Amino acid sequence: MLTGGELDVLTGDYLAELTMLILGRDRLRDPGLGYAKTFLRQLEEGLGLAHERGVRIVANAGGLNPAGLADAVRELAAKTGVPVRVAHVEGDDVMPYAEGVLTANAYLGGAGIAACLRAGADVVVTGRVTDAALVSGPAAWWFDWSPGDHDRLAGAVVAGHVLECGTQATGGNYSFFTRHAAMARPGFPLAEIEADGSCTLTKHPGTGGAVTTGTVTAQLLYETQGARYLGPDVTARLDTVRLREEGPDRVRISGVRGEAPPPTLKTGVTRIGGWRNEVVFVLTGLDIEAKAQLVRDQLAGALEGVADVGWTLVRGDHADAPTQETASAMLRLVVRDPSADRVGRALTSAAIELALGSYPGFHVTAPPGPAQPYGVFSSGQLPADTVPHVAVLPDGSRLAIPAPGPGAPPLSPLPPLPVPPDPGPAGAPAGEVPTRRAPLGLVAGARSGDKGGDANVGVWVEGADAWEWLRSTLTVDLFRELLPETRTLPVTRHDLPNLRALNFVVTGILGDGVASGHRFDPQAKALGEWLRARHLDVPVSLLPPLAPLPEVSRP
C-alpha cells in the first residue's frame, strides 16, 4: 500500500471477537502484552517508508493494551532512527464494570483518533474502537468535521465498513470470483473520500482482484444487522447508499444519510466458557451408518456426565471410489464441559483404545489430545457518557473526548428504487413465467458472517428484474426451508432496495459466538454459499444461457 500509489492514511484492523479472547489469554500470562504483536513486525518494514512519504498510520492493534503498544512503537522508532510522533486512544477497557470475565471493552468511535491526528501524531494506535472508526476518525480530522455532521460521518463510516476486511472488497471471498482474472492475490482497497462524505472505492494500479459494484455490495452486507448501522459516531443508513461504477476498478459511493448515534455504546465481553475436545473417526467403504452407530454405542459409557456431546457424520464417501480417501466418511465427536478432566485426555484415549475392537478399518485423523479452553462472547450496552474516551497525545497530555450529545430524530424509511415489472420471456402466457429448478447462486451473490451468537446472510442480485423476483420470492419461510438448520431460530429479513439486496439475521445460530467453536463453520463464513447452492424454481429469463439445468417446468 505504501509503494503502490498515493496514500494519506494507512489503516489496519487487527481486532475481532476471537482476537480479544486470544489477547486476553496473552495478558493473563504477561500483563505487558495484550496487543497485536504482528503489527510491530509489519511496522519494522514500513515505518520509515511511511514517514518518508508523509503517510499517517492508524490501527486498532493496541487491543487490550494500547499504551503498551504505543511505547513499543516508540522503542521501534528509536531503534530504526525514524522520528515519528506516536499517540494512542484508551478508555474502552470496562473491566471494572464486569466481574469474572477475561475481557470487557466498549466500542469507541473515531473522535479520539481525530484528536490525536490534529495534535500532529504520525502513528495512532487504539484499543477497541469500531472497525469503521479507523476511517471515520481520519476523515473527520482531514475535513475538520464536527460531531453533528451526520451525513458526512455516515459516508465515512460506510467507506470504513467496506475497507475494514481488506481484500473482501476487491474480490476476496466473492461469490462471482470466477468472473475475474488475477484473483490469486487481490490488491487491498482504498477509499478516496471527499468533503461531503462520499467516496470512490478503488485499488492501486497493477494490483490483482477487482473493484465492482458487486464486490462493494458484498462487503456492505457483511456482518450487518439491519438498515440502520449503529455506531458511536453516527448511525449510518444503509438503505440510502448508492453505488455507481465510474470506470475499471472504480466504484463511487454516494447519498449516504446519517442519524445521531445511540446514547449507548456496544460492549463486548469474553470469558472462558469451559473446556472442549474432539475426535474425528474415519469410516471407509461399506456400512458407513452402521460403523458410525457402533462407535457411538461403544463410547456411550465414557460420555456419561459430559455436559455437551455432539456427533456429526459427514458423508464424503463415494461408491466404487478410485481412491481410499474418496471412499471415506468422517464421524466427528465434539465434547464440551466445565471440567477439563471430563473431556481431557482420558476421554480421547478411550476413543483411541477402541482401535482393535471396533469397526473394520478403524483409524482417526489425530492422536488423543488434552482438553482446550473455549471462550464465550456476549455483548451489551453501556451509557456512552459513563465510558471514558481519552486521546493520549504525542506530548503525553490527555484529552477527554465527550460523548456525542442528542441529535436530530431518525429519518423516516426511504421509498425503494422504482423497479419495472418483469414481462417474462416472449410468448409466455399471461401470468405464467417459465422456471427451472436451479441453484440460487446462478442468479444471486451472498456474503455471510458473525455477530456474537448471531449470523447474517446478505443476498443480492444485479438487475432490476432479478431484484423484483428476489424480494418477492426469498421470504423468511423460504429462507428457513432452504437452510433447515435455521428452522427453529428467529430469522429477520431487512430489505435494501438501493443495493438490490436482502439481509437475513439468524439469531442464536452460533451459540456463544466464534470463540466457543459451536458449529462446524463457527463464524458463519460459508452460510451464504450454502444458501446459494440450494435449489429452487428460478425464472428461465434470469438464468445464464449455458447453465446446465433440468427441463423447463411451469408453475
Residues 330 and 247 grouped into a single domain:
no
State how beta strands 235-237 and 228-229 pair: antiparallel
Which of 224 and 430 is assigned the larger pLDDT? 224
DSSP 171-202: TTT-TTGGG-S--SSBPPEEEEE-TTS-EEEE
Alpha helices (H) along 300-424: 345-352
The stretch 405-419 carries a mean pLDDT of 57
Residues 349 and 447 grouped into a single domain:
no
Residues 235 and 309 grouped into a single domain:
no
Please say whether the beta carbons of 509 and 503 come within 8 A: no
Residue type, 553: S
DSSP 259: E
In this predicted structure, the answer to whether residue 423 has a pLDDT above a threshold of 50 is no
| Residues of the chain by 3-state class (helix, strand, coil), percent to 5 | 30, 25, 45
Residues 255 and 281 grouped into a single domain:
no
**Domain of 332: which CATH number?**
3.30.70.2750
Residue 387 domain-assigned (yes or no):
no
The stretch 87-92 carries a mean pLDDT of 98
The residue from 341, 361, 377 where one domain ends is: 377
In this predicted structure, the answer to whether residue 226 has a pLDDT above a threshold of 80 is yes
Q: What does the pLDDT read at residue 413?
A: 61
Nearest to 116 by CA among 181, 67, 163, 165: 67
The residue from 205, 225, 259 where one domain ends is: 259
Residue 525 domain-assigned (yes or no):
yes
Q: What does the pLDDT read at residue 555?
A: 38
Q: What does the pLDDT read at residue 416?
A: 47
Residue 370 domain-assigned (yes or no):
yes
Q: What does the pLDDT read at residue 432?
A: 77
Which of 408 and 308 is assigned the larger pLDDT? 308
Q: Which residues pair with 105 in a beta bridge?
A: 93, 268
Residue 175 domain-assigned (yes or no):
yes
Q: What span, in angstroms and rounded, lies between the C-alpha atoms of 213 and 215?
A: 6
Q: What span, in angstroms and rounded, lies between the C-alpha atoms of 202 and 216?
A: 10
Segment among 224-228, 334-338, 437-441 with least mean pLDDT: 224-228
Residues 370 and 457 grouped into a single domain:
no
Please say whether the beta carbons of 199 and 161 come within 8 A: no
In this predicted structure, the answer to whether residue 98 has a pLDDT above a threshold of 80 is no
Q: What does the pLDDT read at residue 545?
A: 82
Q: What is the pLDDT of residues 149-190, one digit of tens each?
A: 999 999 999 999 999 999 999 999 999 999 998 899 999 999
In this predicted structure, the answer to whether residue 417 has a pLDDT above a threshold of 60 is no
In this predicted structure, the answer to whether residue 428 has a pLDDT above a threshold of 50 is no
Residues 331 and 236 grouped into a single domain:
no
Residue 280 domain-assigned (yes or no):
yes
Q: What does the pLDDT read at residue 420?
A: 38
Residue 139 domain-assigned (yes or no):
no
DSSP 102-152: SEEEE-B-SHHHHHHHHTT-SEEEESSB-TTHHHHHHHHHHHT--TT-HHH
In this predicted structure, the answer to whether residue 40 has a pLDDT above a threshold of 60 is yes
In this predicted structure, the answer to whether residue 114 has a pLDDT above a threshold of 80 is yes
Q: What does the pLDDT read at residue 424?
A: 40
What pTM was estimated for this model as a whole? Answer: 0.89
Residues 225 and 188 grouped into a single domain:
yes
DSSP 479-529: HHHHSGGGTTS-EEEEEEGGGTEEEEEETTTTTT-GGGT-SSSTT-TTHHH
Q: What are phi and psi of 307, to 5 degrees?
A: -65, -40
The stretch 389-412 carries a mean pLDDT of 86
Residues 449 and 525 grouped into a single domain:
yes
Q: What span, in angstroms and rounded, lies between the C-alpha atoms of 217 and 460?
A: 8
Residue 140 domain-assigned (yes or no):
no
Cα–Cα distance list, 356 to 58, 363, 378 (Å): 58, 10, 44
Q: Per the structure, how many domains does the chain have?
A: 3
Q: How confident is the model at residue 553 (pLDDT cuts 50, 70, 90)?
A: very low
Cα–Cα distance list, 54 to 255, 320, 385 (Å): 31, 64, 35
Residues 225 and 284 grouped into a single domain:
no
Q: What is the pLDDT of residues 492-518, one digit of tens each?
A: 999 999 999 999 999 999 887 655 666
Residues 231 and 278 grouped into a single domain:
no
Average pLDDT, the chain: 91
Q: What does the pLDDT read at residue 488?
A: 95
Residues 237 and 316 grouped into a single domain:
no
Residues 251 and 302 grouped into a single domain:
no
Residue 460 domain-assigned (yes or no):
yes
In this predicted structure, the answer to whether residue 547 has a pLDDT above a threshold of 60 is no
Q: What are phi and psi of 277, to 5 degrees?
A: -155, 165
In this predicted structure, the answer to whether residue 472 has a pLDDT above a threshold of 60 is yes
Q: State the residue range of the domain holding 225.
A: 150-259
Q: What span, in angstroms and rounded, lies between the C-alpha atoms of 168 and 187?
A: 10
